Copies of this chain bind each other. A is one copy, B any other.
Amino acid sequence: MRIGELSERTGTSRRLLRYYEEQGLIVADRLPNGYRDYDERYVDRVRQIRGLLDAGLPTRIIKQVLPCLDKPRTIYFSDATPEILATLEHERDGMTERIQFLTRNRDAIADYLDAVRGGDRRDVPA
């Protein structure tokens, strides 16, 4: 598939796809005419990138981390250097903190909404 299709299927602008490539997050094959050529797996891969980006990881970290998470569900033990592992642990802990933090803030907002009005909750008992 060419860049336009990947763009549509991932909701990511062509510009950004090229940018991710420039940052080393993805590597595209080239058709004889120079066009980028992506296979099916890139759809998931790009979504994962967007996800990690949205999670607050900068591209340079994603670049390190991605090769480890990329393989669909087969885990290759081989290719993680101690540095990568350390980075991953650090990120894991950082993400855990972020999750807790986000949760606290979300709950604060939710509590406020619940207090100020019935607040759309489907799970209120009575």
Is the CB of A39 closer than 8 A to any CB of chain B?
Answer: no
Q: Please tell me if the beta carbons of B55 and A112 are within 8 angstroms of each other in the complex.
A: no
Helix, strand, loop or mixed for chain A's interface? helix
Bound-state Cα–Cα, A101 to B99, Å: 10
Instruction: Please give the number of chain A residues whose Cβ is less than 8 angstroms from any Cβ of chain B in the complex.
Output: 37
What 1/0 mask marks residues of chain A from 63 to 82 whose CB sits below 8 Å from any chain B CB?
A: 00100110000010100100
Copies of the protein in its oligomer: 2
Q: Please tell me if the beta carbons of A52 and B105 are within 8 angstroms of each other in the complex.
A: yes
Give every chain B residue within 8 A of A54 (Cβ-Cβ).
56, 98, 101
A68-B112, A69-B112, A85-B116 are known contacts. Are A105 and B55 too (CB-CB below 8 A)? Answer: yes
Report 15 cross-chain contacts, Cβ distance below 8 Å, ordered by A residue.
A51-B105, A52-B105, A54-B56, A54-B101, A55-B101, A55-B106, A69-B109, A75-B116, A85-B113, A88-B113, A91-B109, A92-B109, A95-B105, A96-B106, A99-B106
A residues contacting B by CB (< 8 A) are 48, 51-52, 54-56, 65, 68-69, 75, 77, 80, 85, 88-89, 91-92, 95-96, 98-99, 101-106, 108-110, 112-113, 115-117, 119-120
